[in-house]
Amino acid sequence: METTLREVIKQITFKHLKKFKGQVFGQNLTGVGWVAGTLPKLYEKDGVIELPMADVANGGMVTGAALVGRRPFYIIRYQGYNWLNCIFIVNYACKSKEIWNKPAPMFIRGLSSEGGLGPVSTSSHISIFYKMPGIKIYSPMTKNEYTKTYKKFMKSDDVFYVSEHRKSYENKIELKNSLKKNLDIILMPISVTRFEAEKAKNYLNKNGYKVGIIHLYELKPFVLKKKWISMIKSSKYGVLMTDNDYVDGIIRTLAHKINEQTNKKVYVLGLKDKSAGYTRETSNFPPSALEIITKIKKIKAKKRL
Amino acid sequence: MSYKNYRLKTFEKASLCRNFENEVFKRVNEKIINFPVYLSAGQEYVPSSIAQIVKDKKQKPLIFGQHRGHSIYLSFGGNIIELIDELLGKKTGCTRGMGGSLSINSNKINMFGHEGLMGSNACMGVGACFSSAKPTIVFLGDASVEEDYVLASLSWAAKKELPILFVVEDNNYAVLTKKKDRRDWKAKDVAKAFKLESYDIDDQPKNIFSVLKKNLFKKPIFINVNTKRLFWHSGAGVDEEVKGDRLTVEKKFLGKKAEKIHRNIKKKIENLWKQRLEK
């Protein structure tokens, strides 16, 4: 049976603990479902450390573990808690190498949900990390992407933020870019919206549109490849980016970077600028395939006018 | 080492710190140093006493200080010239000119720089101590011990029985707001509630010696040391005249030998500053 992303994360974590004597920190690690089944069933003697319910302090304590070279994994079970956990990570761990020549490499696993969890925990919150110097941010949705990200971490002495999505854990397939010259529009989805963007692309291409896709998972540093620039420049309407963080977050920053390098219009679809409740009617969901399709149809219609 | 010898050695360290800070005071007033400076004059007996005990025990702990850290750096053997250079913003400084006064660091003495968020060093010190199992000292102030994340760190250090020493240099002020206007609890009582061995003492070296000689780095210990800040919270100025300055009291007690040590160190520090300023 083909393995899932969940299984790959579990294997990587096991290797990190056993082979590299690393540590895994977090809250409720061993208690509820072993982090959606991504954590091997190990305990403190193996390096799996249950932290107290003190999120702000915990970010600092893991920074301390990183400063003494234990290359900790730090699991934040809901990205909403990034707001509490990020303080000492972004203000100390990320700056420590540059200011004091003391790197604090850590691998932060931030788990995101996809709506329905209220005002804080419903979505991604990576934008608050994004603006700070000294951090690398990835959002791998496939097994190869996750493995590559971990390998990069082990060769690096930087802080890595790895934005995970519960919805991706069952994923078995690799998501591939689809690009050629003179497309109508190119989708550049981030994180869990990549799955819906794939659906939208397939639908539109069957219905007379020419839509390409560039799957983004290396978010910071963000590099726009030469081939991508050339394809975007040759496209009719530019780019549509999608994300599961708020629309005024990281996605607008990236859109601006793309616009600067291609001089093409870059549209964005993220979480709406509103607070989220818990029901289908009140929550704030990431853009669906239908919303992406509708947006592209509108872009095309507007251009024709 | 006899207590008498310990007292004299501690004085020597404290004298180094005081003379250094007096020179920094001058350079701030002369506007040679133009960024915020946090002078530790008056409080130097806290790190000096602890550093001497640690030295006698032949330990090399991880040290997590805060903004008022010059005396910590010097007491534990940080390079004086590199600290002068740091305060002059030179690349040869202990933090390559990036640290200013607040964020000083030294790999040689295992001192970790501070980023400016008060009390963050308690969390990092606890994490570093837990993950390395190395003896660790965290220096806090009476204000930073009020931060919620400091309390959480004390709790976890107690739970994990870490070889860590928490030191509160209690000068009674958060900038200029007195403790009595900020809280109705004693740090020692809170630490005790977390099941830490805890003390509330003044900065006489005898007191510090007596509470640390037995269990230092054998279990987590918390000491709140009442001390006096001679100068402004930041910059070179005097808020009010301080009575009972520890260095003056000790110098008087130790007599001519101490006076001679103090004179010689003063001269040495003045010369070093002069040389570095001429470079």
The complex's ipTM works out to 0.96
Q: Which structural domains are found in chain B, ordered by start?
A: 3-278 (3.40.50.970)
Chain A residue whose CA is closest to B106: A100
Q: Do A197 and A223 belong together in one domain?
A: yes
Question: Which residue out of A100, A101, A106, A132 would a mutagenesis test of the B interface target, given it has the greatest number of B Cβ atoms within 10 Å?
Answer: A100
CB–CB contact A63 B155 (8 Å): no
Q: Which of A142, A168, A194 is the last residue of a domain?
A: A168
Element (H, E) at A260: helix A250-262
How far A84 CA sits from the closest chain B CA (Å)? Answer: 11
For A21-38, the pLDDT digits (tens) are 999 999 999 988 899 999
For A215-271, the pLDDT digits (tens) are 999 999 999 999 999 999 999 999 999 999 999 999 999 999 999 999 999 999 999
- The partner residue sitting opposite B112, judged by closest CB among A91, A95, A102, is A102
List A185's β-bridge partners, or say none: A211
Q: Do A57 and A154 belong together in one domain?
A: yes
Q: Lowest mean pLDDT: which of A109-118, A193-202, A229-238?
A: A109-118
CA angle B111-B113-B118, nearest 5°? 120
Q: Is the dihedral of CA B86, B177, B125, B245 positive or negative?
A: positive
- Interchain CB contact of B130 with A (< 8 Å): yes
Q: How much is the mean pLDDT over chain A?
A: 96
Residue A230: half-sphere exposure toward Cβ, Cα within 13 Å: 6
B3: confidence class by pLDDT, cuts 50, 70, 90: confident
What is the extent of the structural domain holding A202?
Answer: 185-304
On chain A, the residues whose CB falls within 8 A of the CB of B130 are: 49, 61, 64-65
Which of B188, B190, B195 is CA-nearest to residue B162?
B195
For residue A243, being part of any structural domain is answered with yes
Chain B residue whose CA is closest to A23: B131
On chain A, the residues whose CB falls within 8 A of the CB of B129 are: 64
CA distance B12 to B48: 9
Please, which residues have CB within 8 angstroms of residue A281's CB and are 6 or more apart in sequence? Answer: none
B143: confidence class by pLDDT, cuts 50, 70, 90: very high
How far B76 CA sits from the closest chain A CA (Å)? Answer: 18
CA distance B177 to B173: 5
On chain A, the residues whose CB falls within 8 A of the CB of B97 are: none
A304: confidence class by pLDDT, cuts 50, 70, 90: low
Question: Which residue out of A63, A68, A96 would a mutagenesis test of the B interface target, given it has the greatest number of B Cβ atoms within 10 Å?
Answer: A68
Chain B residue whose CA is closest to A61: B127
CB pairs under 8 A between A and B: 111
- Interchain CB contact of B128 with A (< 8 Å): yes
Domain CATH code at residue A17: 3.40.50.970
Q: Do A30 and A114 belong together in one domain?
A: yes
List A75's β-bridge partners, or say none: A26, A109
For residue A178, being part of any structural domain is answered with no
CB–CB contact B120 A58 (8 Å): no
How far A67 CA sits from the closest chain B CA (Å)? Answer: 7
Q: Do A64 and A160 belong together in one domain?
A: yes
CA angle B114-B116-B122, nearest 5°? 60
Q: Do A164 and A189 belong together in one domain?
A: no
CA distance B143 to B146: 6
The answer to whether B188 touches B198, Cβ cutoff 8 Å, is yes
A121: confidence class by pLDDT, cuts 50, 70, 90: confident
CB–CB contact B127 A60 (8 Å): yes
Q: How many domains does chain A divide into?
A: 2
Element (H, E) at A135: strand A135-138
Q: Which of A168, A196, A224 is the last residue of a domain?
A: A168
Q: Which two structure tokens, joined as six digits, stand for A41?
A: 């069933």
For B241-266, the pLDDT digits (tens) are 889 999 999 999 999 999 999 999 99
